[in-house]
Amino acid sequence: MCGLLALITDPSAEVTGDLVEEVSKASRLMRHRGPDEPGTWSDDHVVFGFNRLSIIDIAHSHQPLRWGPPEAPNRYELVFNGEIYNYLELREQLAAEFGAVFATDGDSETIAAAYHHWGTEALTRLRGMFAFALWDTVEKELFCARDPFGIKPLFMATGSRGTVFGSEKKCLLALADVLGLDHTLDERAVQHYTVLQYVPEPETLHRGIRRLESGSYARVRPGRPPQVTRYFKPRFSPVPFRPGDEQSRYAEITAALEDSVAKHMRADVTVGAFLSGGIDSTAIAALAMRHNPKLITFTTGFEREGFSEIDVAVASAEAIGARHVAKVVGQEEFVAALPEIVWYLDEPVADPALVPLFFIAREARKHVKVVLSGEGSDELFGGYTIYREPLSLKPFDYLPRRVRRSLGRVSRPLPEGMRGKSLLHRGSLTLEERYYGNARSFSDEQLRAVLRIFRPEWTHTDVTAPIYAESVGWDPVARMQHLDLFTWLRGDILVKADKMTMANSLELRVPFLDPEVFAVASRLPVDQKITRSTTKYALRRALESIVPPHVLNRPKLGFPVPLRHWLRASGPLLDWAYDLVAASQADRLIDTATVTRMLDEHRTGAGDHSRRLWTVLIFMLWHAIFIEGSVTPQIREPSYPVQL
């Protein structure tokens, strides 16, 4: 787990000592991702910057890392962020089939050797999370790739002096003037953020900086733009259960998870686990206990009643025999950490759960260097309650299209909050029109009032239409899962997981997001995912002997945050919100008078605007940090031992 920066110059741009120093300086902005060992490397065309968090083969496997076959031992130079969990098996295979020789005991050399012998097919053989840049000194080509689900980030930009890739956008912004990058604000991306609560890939809020998408790779030669190719296309292909087939199919799920967790436990440092009150993290922790009986688990909660799962997590930890550490977050420290958190994020994400995640990662880093977590289970196994919506809207499928549309028109004049209004409205729409992910906050009317730059032609379908086009003919739940893999999962869930843990120099691993686990989950029929009474039906059945009974059928909560209450009562968060809006210089984009009115209405109980307010407030804070420069977060210098 690390932070990388890779620059390939235009032929007319010479790699000078000054340029190497600029890359080194930019790389230091993400020293929190790898405080154990910084490094740089350059030749006539490429400059690499790197920060290493040492997890496997700590004494060796330094980066940038050099590897080559016997006839060209210095052919490849690599910078790599992530972990390859099946590296031991791949090393044996490469040695047996091709006589590959390795100088270290780590997983980094495996990437270079696999690429040399298998080409781009190597990416489909890697079980892990990764973003890497590999420079071929013979072909003069930079090869960059990202893991299938987008667990690890990779930003990219091309300017007048070359192309740069990096684990964090702030590093690319630091090189914008040096490389001639376009770093103007992308107003369409601002509107997409406000609707979705995150910036969808491949966009960022800076026009000239984009993300290499999940499951994709890029080839770059000096003076040429990146050529991007998708190598992984997830597909849900349900196979109905036959009579008597249930137990063997559930056993497949259990076996895939057991194998994935076993491989995710590979490390030369201590591995812990996040533990909420839900089935996903509890299952991962219970399976991890088989490999580390001294496993430490971690959770967080708030002082307000109803916004803490600590008691349930403690009971789960006791049931599986794990040691447990809990962190209670107060409102004052919550507010004080916000500038630092948004700086680490790079892009605004309006998911309040990322704040407690930041605090529990900080607490966990006092005890361990790696944690396992349950992200990805909902998208793979059907865990979101919204996935049950096709069942509730089924009667509308039998109505003629014109009748459904007329019901939508009937719903419009009905008062907000009136029972049946939302059902009529959503039943009048197609799946493609109504579902754009888990985030629903602003209606078009509300958006028009808040965004001065609102354009009706910039809709969520800009993002979702190409994804839906890949799932025509699938059942509605599978289509929703497929959409979330490309939107909510990689735009919200994995961003907050990566950024909040890396902010604390902590490696987070997600065993559910494993190709072998996905292969099993993708074959589940819809009735094994969603029923009228539960979600993740097959997964719950598969985990009956693994998770404690009090968790098995418990509703999903995650890390609930008392935003609605804190923004209604006098206190640090409400004061901060009013001050932020009053001082904001984002009034060209945001109607601050409307936001102030929303705060007033929420404070007095005239309406519940908490999620909409949070979306706007986080953007304003991001704007103050990265555009105005009026807020300068206090970033601590990371100081952690190499090994825990």
User: Which residues are part of the catalytic machinery?
Assistant: 2
Strands (E), 444-563: 507-509
Q: How far apart are CA 235 and CA 539, in angstroms?
A: 19
Q: How far apart are CA 269 and CA 641, in angstroms?
A: 11
Token pair, residue 204, equals 């960022």
Question: Contact at 8 Å (CB) between 5 and 22?
Answer: no
Q: How far apart are CA 576 and CA 567, in angstroms?
A: 10
Q: How far apart are CA 330 and CA 631, in angstroms?
A: 22
SS3 readout for 120-153:
HHHHHHCCEEEEEEEEECCCCEEEEEECCCCCCC
Q: How many helices (H) and strands (E) does the chain have?
A: 28, 17
Question: Contact at 8 Å (CB) between 194 and 619?
Answer: yes
The residue among 19, 16, 45 whose CA lies nearest residue 177 is 19
Beta strands 296-302 and 370-372: pairing type? unpaired
Question: Concatenated DSSP letters for 541-558?
Answer: HHTTTTS-HHHHTPPP--
Q: How far apart are CA 394 and CA 146, in angstroms?
A: 38
How is residue 25 annotated by DSSP? H
Question: Contact at 8 Å (CB) between 105 and 61?
Answer: yes
SS3 readout for 45-102:
CEEEEEEECCCCCCCCCCCCEEECCCCCCCCEEEEEEEEECCHHHHHHHHHHHHCCCC
Q: How far apart are CA 41 and CA 58, in angstroms?
A: 20
Q: What 3-state DSSP class applies to 568?
A: coil
Number of other residues whose CB lies within 10 A of the CB of residue 118: 17
